[in-house]
């Protein structure tokens, strides 16, 4: 099993506590977080910065990198997991991605990941498109509900 990368929207302190206890079912089932998005696509957190760059390009804005947008740690265990609150500006940028651009955005992102890693990417990846679409929806829902987004990772 590789690195898992997930986003949750709701109360960051409740999310952080549940994440630390590894009570992921409550987070994923909508009891503790109203939305979740799983970006565990055999990627690293740095690849999510590449996604941030592609979002900036698609919107004609300067990119807000995810890892630079983490405001405070709310959960996790040393060297095994972490959960941090994401800045509202990053959330707003992701939420601004038009639905009709998600597929092209994902294709550009995966190409950037491939170039950074020296790998070859071929064609569309429906799993990645679904993951990016879920992230955009989560960010829109967080804005609509005036809640925060938490980025979480675990081994």
The CATH number for 90's domain is: 3.40.1760
Round to whole Å and give the CA distance between 115 and 8: 29
- CA atoms within 13 Å, Cβ hemisphere of 143: 15
- Number of structural domains, the chain? 1
Assessment of whether the complete model's pTM goes beyond 0.85: yes
Round to whole Å and give the CA distance between 44 and 63: 18
Round to whole Å and give the CA distance between 32 and 46: 27
Domain of residue 10: give its range: 4-154
Q: What is the pLDDT of residues 16-46, one digit of tens each?
A: 999 999 999 989 988 899 999 999 988 899 9
The pLDDT assigned to 147 comes to 98
């Amino acid at each position: 099993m590789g690195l898992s990368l997930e986003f949750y929207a709701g109360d960051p302190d409740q999310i952080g506590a549940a994440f630390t206890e590894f009570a992921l079912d409550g987070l994923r089932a909508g009891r503790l977080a109203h939305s979740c998005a799983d970006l565990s696509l055999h990627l690293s957190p740095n690849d999510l910065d590449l996604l941030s760059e592609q979002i900036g390009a698609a919107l004609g804005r300067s990119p807000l990198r995810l890892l630079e947008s983490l405001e405070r740690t709310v959960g996790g265990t040393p060297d095994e997991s972490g959960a941090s609150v994401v800045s509202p500006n990053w959330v707003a940028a992701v939420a601004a991605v038009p639905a009709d651009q998600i597929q092209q955005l994902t294709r550009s992102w995966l190409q950037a990941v491939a170039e950074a890693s020296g790998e070859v990417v071929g064609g569309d990846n429906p799993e990645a498109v679904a993951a990016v679409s879920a992230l955009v929806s989560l960010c829109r829902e967080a804005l609509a509900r005036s809640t925060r987004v938490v980025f979480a990772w675990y081994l």
